[in-house]
Structure 1
Amino acid sequence: MAPRYDVTAIGEGGLRLSVPSGDRLEVATSLDVNVVGTEANVVSSLARLGWRTGWASAVPDGPLGRRVENALTAHGVDIGNVVRVPGARVGSYFVEYGAAPRPTLVHFDRAGTAFTQLTPEQVNWDSVLDTRLIHLTGLTVPLSDGVHKVVEEAFSRARDRGVPVSFDVNFRARLWTCEEAAAKLRPFVESADILFCRHGDARQLFGFGPTAEDALAALCEMSSARHVLVSSSEHGVVASVDGRRVTAPACPVDIVDRLGAGDGLAAGFLHGWLSDDLEHAPMLATAMAALALSQRGEQVITTRQELADVMADPNTNLNR
């Protein structure tokens, strides 16, 4: 019998509160609200492309938790494996968009949330692993000891059941140190079946570089993954796909929202993997990253036809 899902993911969902572009957070009088969550972004984008996706998490049992759930349901993600926690907090972060010479600033507020209380015993593993692939990220690991154990359990149970694991390193320096991250993420890097890593993360955590190609070679030695992608922002990706070296340039894009591009990239590659189209998977990754950059919010709202159009001609700027 075919698995219930094409892709499942475990991770935190929360709210992104951003000031209008050009405003400063300390004097802001209004905030835009978007639902976020790196793993949720990936399965939401894949659901928009027609795949059956599920998301396991824990959210507050109240209006803020329902705000997160409603957004994912609207994208087509199954939320049957979400635990609702009475009286808990929702994770959030505040964004102040930068314009030269200021960088964009992100301020996390993620301590003591509903998701940080999640334990392996609360996860419905039979449901979560009834899937072709499970997607996990390093962003979840530092949030609490409990969710670190959830990720460890997911890897172990997936291996026992023969379910491939996709893992995005997704290092956040504001959440933990390089030394902590390198030690705790290395086992997941080594065990993943599909591995995503930014060139900057490979350099910071493991000293791999100086080029993306160098980092790719080192990660391939470290990991048993069949497919490894190293991304370098405007330089696109270099990848090892079934042992074959592939490059994909970044698509031209007018950037509307810088956040979420890495999740779009992962969703694009996984779309290729699910479609048995590994030849074009790295290009699908960069195309989805560009689509993420071109719209507000972190879930890519698109269709297979739009993605194919971008692949065919990324320079098109008028369709009528």
Structure 2
Amino acid sequence: MQTPRRVTVLGECVADLFAGPGPALPHTGAPGPAPDRQGMTLRVLPGGGPANTAVGLARLGTPTRLMARLSGDVFGRLFRARLLESGVDLTGAPTAEEPSTLAVADVDAGGVASYSFHAEGTADWQWTRAELAAGDLRDSACVHTGSLALVREPGGPLAEELLAGVRPHATVSIDPNVRPALVDPEVYRDRLPGWCAVADILRLSQDDLDAVAPDVTAEAACDGFHAAGARLVVVTLGAHGALASLDGRRISVPGVPTRVVDTVGAGDAFTAGLLHHLGKHGLLGGRLERLTPEGLAAACAYAVRVAALTCAVAGPNPPWAHRMEQEPSATRAGSLS
């Protein structure tokens, strides 16, 4: 094992707003039912898929740079503080005049969140070619992006240009992170073949697959993504672990039992764990030529543990490296087929 080389993450930071009951109205002392509550309270956590992945990578020990347009508003200041405290390099993160993107989370009884977005005219999507060109990516072994950064105008096409430009020297990783509430899944469906043509790693959730390839099995979807150019496809299956496909060789990794507080950021944490493990074993920086099915199984088992620890705490709060060392490793890396 070795010290991982730098990973650069390109994408958005989103303020995740979690609603709770408002304060109780003061009791007047008069007989009758208990007083009503007034309004609601909002708990704000810094999130956004790419930002969560950058935080997870840095906390695990991978040198990580985030290229993001961070607003100068109160939420943008919250983003910067969290990213810097986690060890993320923000030299590629200009301060933007536009406001931050907001996502209102609705968490069900099982801890699964759905979102409504406030994203029109916000900072994250307004990339210019000059801003992206200012980021020096020559020292990056891997460039990871995805989510809304690839589908929102005007920045999306510029992000795709950047990926094509770094491919000669860096592994390219993409997480579509489909958001049907904000972008029609048809947009993702149309662009996925182009992403696969430049991506070495494609990570999707089962929900992503259900949105872009309904009624298609995960195995068949993997084959389609391979045919379009992606060498490694990983589908995360929530509590059931993950299915990975390396040039068509399938790997199943079981989930790790955990007490779920919520699943916010779990997929992003999985991606961070996967890229960190691959980088620590010197497998990033090219087309994954030295990655074996056994090595992939170990990387996915590690990533599943990272995701499980994230589910055990509130919000997108991936574990630090010392927390991973305290947790026992999985007894089985996974089954190969």
Does TM-score exceed 0.5, indicating one fold?
yes
Residue aligned with 1:280, SS = helix
1:93 maps to which of 103, 112, 118: 103
Bigger Cα Rg: 2
Using a 3 Å threshold, how does the CA distance of structure 1 residues 65 and 4 change in structure 2: closer, same or farther? farther
CA distance in 2, matches of 1:240, 1:78: 32
Residue aligned with 1:20, SS = strand
* Contact 1:216–1:238 under 8 Å retained in 2: no
Which one is further off, 47-56 or 242-251? 242-251
* Contact 2:175–2:203 under 8 Å retained in 1: yes
Map 1:65-104 onto structure 2 (within 5 A): 65-86=76-97, 88-99=98-109, 104=113
* Contact 2:112–2:262 under 8 Å retained in 1: no
Residue aligned with 2:258, SS = coil
For the pair 1:33 / 2:44, whether they are aligned, the reply is: yes
Using a 3 Å threshold, how does the CA distance of structure 1 residues 281 and 138 change in structure 2: closer, same or farther? same
Map 1:281-292 onto structure 2 (within 5 A): 281-292=299-310
- Per-residue CA deviation, residues 223-277 of structure 1 (Å, 9 max, x unaligned), is x233211122222111123653211011111111211111011111112211225
For the pair 1:115 / 2:121, whether they are aligned, the reply is: no
* Contact 2:143–2:163 under 8 Å retained in 1: no
Moved over 6 A (4+): none
CA distance in 1, matches of 2:22, 2:113: 10
| Structure with more relative contact order (C-alpha pairs < 8 Å, separation 6 or more) | 2
Cα RMSD of the aligned pairs, angstroms, is 2.8
CA distance in 1, matches of 2:190, 2:112: 29
For the pair 1:294 / 2:312, whether they are aligned, the reply is: yes
1:265 maps to which of 256, 267, 270: 270
Map 1:20-59 onto structure 2 (within 5 A): 20=20, 28-59=39-70
Map 1:1-320 onto structure 2 (within 5 A): 6-20=6-20, 28-86=39-97, 88-99=98-109, 104-143=113-152, 145-159=153-167, 161-207=168-214, 209-210=216-217, 212-222=218-228, 224-241=229-246, 244-276=249-281, 277-304=295-322, 306=324, 309-312=327-330
Which one is further off, 200-209 or 39-48? 200-209
Using a 3 Å threshold, how does the CA distance of structure 1 residues 27 and 57 change in structure 2: closer, same or farther? farther
Residue aligned with 1:77, SS = coil
Q: CA deviation at 1:36?
A: 0.7
- Per-residue CA deviation, residues 272-296 of structure 1 (Å, 9 max, x unaligned), is 2112253401111211111111112
Q: CA deviation at 1:61?
A: 2.4
Relative to the length of structure 1, the TM-score reads 0.85
Q: CA deviation at 1:21?
A: 8.2
Alignment length (residue pairs): 304
Q: CA deviation at 1:307?
A: 5.0
Residue aligned with 1:139, SS = helix
- Per-residue CA deviation, residues 202-235 of structure 1 (Å, 9 max, x unaligned), is 343135623x33332332223x233211122222
Residue aligned with 1:80, SS = coil
- Per-residue CA deviation, residues 158-192 of structure 1 (Å, 9 max, x unaligned), is 12x42110111211111121222211233112320
Using a 3 Å threshold, how does the CA distance of structure 1 residues 245 and 42 change in structure 2: closer, same or farther? same
Residue aligned with 2:15, SS = strand
* Contact 1:10–1:135 under 8 Å retained in 2: yes
* Contact 1:9–1:55 under 8 Å retained in 2: yes
In the alignment, structure 1 segments of 5+ residues that lack a partner are 315-320
* Contact 2:54–2:65 under 8 Å retained in 1: yes
CA distance in 2, matches of 1:174, 1:248: 30
Residue aligned with 1:270, SS = helix
Counterpart of 2:26? none
In the alignment, structure 2 segments of 5+ residues that lack a partner are 24-36, 282-294, 333-337
Using a 3 Å threshold, how does the CA distance of structure 1 residues 248 and 120 change in structure 2: closer, same or farther? same
Using a 3 Å threshold, how does the CA distance of structure 1 residues 179 and 96 change in structure 2: closer, same or farther? closer
Q: CA deviation at 1:299?
A: 3.4
* Contact 1:21–1:97 under 8 Å retained in 2: no
* Contact 1:97–1:105 under 8 Å retained in 2: yes
Identity fraction in percent: 28
CA distance in 2, matches of 1:209, 1:36: 30
Q: CA deviation at 1:5?
A: 5.5
